[in-house]
Amino acid sequence: MDNIVIRYTEKPKLKDPIFIEGLPGIGNVGKLAAEHLIDELGAKKFAEIVSKYFPPQVMVLDGGLVKLVNNELYYVRNVGKGTDMIFLVGDYQGMNPEGQYELTDFILGVLKDFDVKRIFTLGGYGVGRIVEKPKVYGAATDEEMVKEMEKFGVVFSRGEPGTGIVGASGLLLGLGALYDMHSVCFMGETSGYFVDPKSARAVLEVLTRALGIEVDFSELEAKAKQIDAITARLRESEVKPEEPRKDLGYIG
Amino acid sequence: MDNIVIRYTEKPKLKDPIFIEGLPGIGNVGKLAAEHLIDELGAKKFAEIVSKYFPPQVMVLDGGLVKLVNNELYYVRNVGKGTDMIFLVGDYQGMNPEGQYELTDFILGVLKDFDVKRIFTLGGYGVGRIVEKPKVYGAATDEEMVKEMEKFGVVFSRGEPGTGIVGASGLLLGLGALYDMHSVCFMGETSGYFVDPKSARAVLEVLTRALGIEVDFSELEAKAKQIDAITARLRESEVKPEEPRKDLGYIG
Amino acid sequence: MDNIVIRYTEKPKLKDPIFIEGLPGIGNVGKLAAEHLIDELGAKKFAEIVSKYFPPQVMVLDGGLVKLVNNELYYVRNVGKGTDMIFLVGDYQGMNPEGQYELTDFILGVLKDFDVKRIFTLGGYGVGRIVEKPKVYGAATDEEMVKEMEKFGVVFSRGEPGTGIVGASGLLLGLGALYDMHSVCFMGETSGYFVDPKSARAVLEVLTRALGIEVDFSELEAKAKQIDAITARLRESEVKPEEPRKDLGYIG
Amino acid sequence: MDNIVIRYTEKPKLKDPIFIEGLPGIGNVGKLAAEHLIDELGAKKFAEIVSKYFPPQVMVLDGGLVKLVNNELYYVRNVGKGTDMIFLVGDYQGMNPEGQYELTDFILGVLKDFDVKRIFTLGGYGVGRIVEKPKVYGAATDEEMVKEMEKFGVVFSRGEPGTGIVGASGLLLGLGALYDMHSVCFMGETSGYFVDPKSARAVLEVLTRALGIEVDFSELEAKAKQIDAITARLRESEVKPEEPRKDLGYIG
């Protein structure tokens, strides 16, 4: 089989779409944020990507049906001031460096076909402590993007994250430059101990400002309250939360 | 050499054969079940598969002869109400994700040539405790399959197994859907501490009902008694059995 | 670069040569035995094999010169009753399963060109305790080979080694069968704690009987005495030797 | 995408250039030395190499801009007695053996095009203790090189390093021999605990003598004083520095 297989259920015509990536990573910040946006904007799935760079695994869904682990592309038209959008979400990122490079390059090829020129990648930045008001750090491919995004409250700082950005959120910027894409990565501060809807909301607040759109956050707020309840209970019982895996701490 | 090499000792003509997979996995439930069925039905080996995705290893057989580790295909004709069957058993599953995908895709290509439309994969579901009466959980590619198999006592439940199904038993369903195969995976509850003939029997009881055939279980019962004797001794001496490897706990 | 590169310094004409493999492995038994035979018979190097399946490493030789890690082929003509021989020795075996399969298949292709029909692979069998009189276990591709080799004192036994034979010594037999080669593997009992010249001698005693030749063992005896001195000192100081690496214990 | 991608910003015409490699490794000795030389000689970047053998990672630079991790080639003309030079520096070496072989072979192909005949690779030799006056050990492809370099104070000794040279500094010599390149590796003694500008200076003192050039070392001295201050503080507080990673101890 091919290393990467894409199956289109639809080939939508889109006008200068922007691209938003939210794959699993630290605190699942990017995944939560992108999936929330897909739900709120009513974006529609149009393609599935399976690959031998993902684990050899099926998920078991409601009703006992299986789904091969995959990545999925969604689109929505005419949002806010008339923007078309493509989203990438999924169960996994590529499991090894080769897979990361191949999958990212594959996605960029797909985006080129849709004439994408602007990329937003969403992720978390693990800081190893509970964060009350998560900041959103940024990194970009060019200075105009930096200047533009600073206006929306994104923090650009050489030392953050010190280890660079590992995984799809970083690679889409790095390889995207070879495709002449203007890209920015938003990283919400997060402890790294838990799935973090609060950080996802912080990222979305910046992103929606940048896109000139408004979305409802009640769904994310409900999830955040659940997590807060769990962390409060953990603190009371003085059970120290598990150490975050170090090798995940810097995955965007 | 090719990544995967198949050698046919025979190319049997089969009429709409169903396919049954039982490779090694948690508790070796699938392997025990499929091998028992091969023995009881007198199925005949017709092909061997060797691959660089298997370990670089030979087994030493009776009389000092070696056998390169492999997977093997068996067939039997006209069982029960006239069903032809193909079986897959073997020493190992693919050793890495790429190998899992490539081997599964290769097998599906072979099955397509034999016009297989219906797949049963057999495995174990590790629950971390001794199970007196193992249930058989299921997962399937389509709702008709779910409904049909529920009648034979298979339990379909979103949360089980929570981590999905890893390995050939899951991938044959996930990739099989791309080949338009209707598939179901049977997973017998098992501790994960031991090879588990009792769980294999539970799986076979469901499978034989689904296939409308009857087989003798005395061979599996004898093996189960041996294991029971060992676990009883362990409990008496209060030696705690070794922890099951976590990364194997969810391999089907 | 190609995955495997062979460079011939000579292409000797050989008459029905037999092939003897002695790559590094448990106790370095096979390597010691094959290198001793090369020295004693005055065999001549005729080819070097480098590969990306070996570590990215150079050895530093006398005088500060480097040597890229490799495998080497030697030949000798007209030994004993007129036998031509090819030897394979080297710094490493392939570092992963794919490398093991590819390298072994590559070697078998070379041997086919030289019209080799008979293979002897030499290795150690780690038993986890000091062995005073090492037995030599065998495994073979066919029954005639088993019968013939039993006459020279080789022990053929289903249970030994229980885990099969991992690495080149096993794979040359397993894949060699696809090339119609008649092969036998000799495994000298060894503790697994030390490089073991005594076990290498045991293997060579059997091999030389099988080949109908005689060689001097004083070189190996000297090495064995050095090791004996070290182990004696270790026993006196009650320092327990390090555990052998389990994953090496069954490499032939 | 290709496994390795090179992008030239310029294709300089060079006359019999020598090549100097300084990729990351033990104590970052080679990297520090080569980067210092690039700065002092005003060498100019002319090509970037990205590869799926590097980590899937971007670095975050000043001003929030990203840079995909890469290797870079620099050149300088007419140094000392009129020598042209090419330098290789970068963020990472290849992450696995295949990557090491492929990247080194790729670089050698590029060098062949520039008609390079002489290679200097720079690295560290980890000895596990603080070294006051680091010696510079050498290894070379031919005896003339050994003799020539001994005159400049390089120590050639079979036993050093005992494990050989792992990584690009060794492989450029080993594979370079297949390209008829005359090469030498300089390894500065270093503890392995810290980035070591003092060892980098020792390497450069030998290299500049060999090249017949002079460079200012004040930049490296300043860095060395910073490290000395840190190690002094560590010794006072009796905090034992972390063990060097064993698998890095012998990377050149």
Give the strand pairing for A66-68 and A57-60. antiparallel
Question: Phi then psi for D11, rounded to 5 degrees?
Answer: -115, 85
Q: Give the model's pLDDT for residue A237.
A: 67
* Whole-angstrom distance, CA of residue C29 vs CA of residue C205: 13
Which pTM was predicted? 0.90
Q: Where are the alpha helices (DSSP H) in chain A?
A: 29-41, 97-113, 143-150, 168-176, 197-211, 218-236
- Cβ contact (<8 Å) for C60 and D97? no
Question: Phi then psi for D109, rounded to 5 degrees?
Answer: -65, -45
Look at residues A190, A37, A44, A36 and name the one whose alpha carbon lies nearest to residue A123: A190
Q: Can the peptide bond before residue D12 be classed as cis, meaning omega within 30 degrees of 0? A: no
- Cβ contact (<8 Å) for C58 and D164? yes
Write the DSSP assignment of A82-121 as a string of letters: TEEEEEEEES---SSHHHHHHHHHHHHHHHHHTT--EEEE
**CB neighbour list of residue C145: distance below 8 Å, 6 or more residues apart:** C182, C183, C184
Radius of gyration of chain D (CA): 18
Across all residues in chain A, what is the average pLDDT?
A: 91
- Cβ contact (<8 Å) for D68 and A171? yes
Q: Give the model's pLDDT for residue A62.
A: 83
User: Would you put residue D185 in left (φ > 0), alpha (ψ -120 to 50) or beta?
Assistant: beta
Nearest to A156 among D54, D64, D68 (CB): D64
| Chains contacting D (3 or more CB pairs within 8 Å) | A, C
Does residue A60 surpass a pLDDT of 60? yes
Residues of chain B contacting residue C161, judged by C-beta atoms under 8 Å apart: 60
Nearest to B173 among A1, A62, A66 (CB): A66
Mean pLDDT of B203-210: 97
Look at residues A47, A124, A27 and name the one whose alpha carbon lies nearest to residue A90: A47
Distance in Å, alpha carbon of A85 to nearest chain B alpha carbon = 28
Give the strand pairing for D44-51 and B83-90. unpaired
Nearest to D56 among A140, A141, A171 (CB): A171
* Whole-angstrom distance, CA of residue D36 vs CA of residue D195: 14
Distance in Å, alpha carbon of D111 to nearest chain C alpha carbon = 15
Which of B58, B61, B93 would best serve as a mutation to test chain C binding (most C beta carbons within 10 A)? Answer: B58
**CB-CB contact of B165 with B176 (8 Å):** no
**CB neighbour list of residue C243: distance below 8 Å, 6 or more residues apart:** none
Residues of chain A contacting residue B171, judged by C-beta atoms under 8 Å apart: 56-58, 68
Distance in Å, alpha carbon of B103 to nearest chain A alpha carbon = 10
Nearest to B139 among A52, A64, A69 (CB): A64
Residues of chain A contacting residue B175, judged by C-beta atoms under 8 Å apart: 1, 50, 68
Which of C100, C171, C185, C248 would best serve as a mutation to test chain B binding (most B beta carbons within 10 A)? Answer: C171
Least confident of A27-36, A57-66, D28-37: A57-66
Nearest to A164 among D58, D63, D64 (CB): D58
- Cβ contact (<8 Å) for A158 and D66? no
| Chains contacting A (3 or more CB pairs within 8 Å) | B, D
Mean pLDDT of D82-86: 96
Q: Give the model's pLDDT for residue D187.
A: 97
Mean pLDDT of D224-240: 75
- Cβ contact (<8 Å) for B139 and A60? yes
* Whole-angstrom distance, CA of residue A11 vs CA of residue D146: 65
Q: Give the model's pLDDT for residue D216.
A: 96
- Bridge partners (DSSP) of residue B50 are B5
- Cβ contact (<8 Å) for C68 and D175? yes
* Whole-angstrom distance, CA of residue C194 vs CA of residue C230: 10
Does residue B224 surpass a pLDDT of 70? yes
Chains B and C: how many Cβ contacts under 8 Å? 86
Residues of chain A contacting residue D53, judged by C-beta atoms under 8 Å apart: 97-98
Which of C53, C66, C67 would best serve as a mutation to test chain D binding (most D beta carbons within 10 A)? Answer: C66
Give the strand pairing for B44-51 and B4-8. antiparallel
Tokens of A166: 């590992």
Nearest to A98 among D52, D58, D61 (CB): D52
Identify which has the larger pLDDT, D112 or A247.
D112
Nearest to C171 among B56, B60, B61 (CB): B56
Q: Name the residue of chain A whose CA is nearest to D48's CA.
A: A178
* Whole-angstrom distance, CA of residue A191 vs CA of residue A26: 9
At residue D204, the 3 state secondary structure works out as: helix
Mean pLDDT of D197-208: 97
* Whole-angstrom distance, CA of residue C22 vs CA of residue C115: 20
Q: Where are the alpha helices (DSSP H) in chain B?
A: 29-41, 97-113, 143-150, 168-176, 197-211, 218-236
- Cβ contact (<8 Å) for D63 and A166? no
Q: Running DSSP on this structure, what letter comes out for residue C60?
A: E
**Do chain B and C touch: 3 or more Cβ pairs under 8 angstroms?**
yes
**CB-CB contact of B30 with B129 (8 Å):** no
Distance in Å, alpha carbon of A228 to nearest chain D alpha carbon = 32
**CB neighbour list of residue B221: distance below 8 Å, 6 or more residues apart:** B197, B201
Angle at D37 between CA D32 and CA D39, to 5 degrees: 95
Q: Give the model's pLDDT for residue C231.
A: 78
- Cβ contact (<8 Å) for D158 and C63? yes
Q: Name the residue of chain A whose CA is nearest to B251's CA.
A: A57
- Cβ contact (<8 Å) for D158 and C1? no
- Cβ contact (<8 Å) for B58 and C139? yes
Task: Provide the percentage of residues in chain B whose pLDDT is more than 90.
Answer: 80
- Walk across the sheet containing C57-60 and list its strands: C66-68, C57-60, D165-166
* Whole-angstrom distance, CA of residue D203 vs CA of residue D182: 19
pLDDT tens-place string over residues C99-114: 999 999 999 999 999 9
Does residue D247 surpass a pLDDT of 70? no
Q: Give the model's pLDDT for residue A193.
A: 86
pLDDT mean values, one per 10 residues, chain C (252 residues): 96 97 97 97 98 96 93 97 96 97 98 97 94 95 96 87 89 94 97 93 97 95 88 67 40 43
Mean pLDDT of A81-98: 96
Mean pLDDT of D70-93: 97
Residues of chain A contacting residue B97, judged by C-beta atoms under 8 Å apart: 52-56, 95
Radius of gyration of chain C (CA): 18
Does residue B217 surpass a pLDDT of 80? yes
pLDDT tens-place string over residues A184-231: 999 999 998 889 999 999 999 999 999 999 999 999 999 889 888 887
Q: Give the model's pLDDT for residue D238.
A: 54
Confidence band of A238 (pLDDT split at 50, 70, 90)? low
Mean pLDDT of D6-23: 97
pLDDT tens-place string over residues B109-145: 999 999 999 999 999 999 999 899 999 999 999 999 9
Half-sphere exposure of C29 (CA within 13 A, CB side): 36
Distance in Å, alpha carbon of B119 to nearest chain A alpha carbon = 14
Does residue B5 surpass a pLDDT of 50? yes
Nearest to A143 among D50, D63, D67 (CB): D63
Which of D121, D169, D173, D181 would best serve as a mutation to test chain C binding (most C beta carbons within 10 A)? Answer: D173
Which amino acid is residue A203, in one-letter code? V
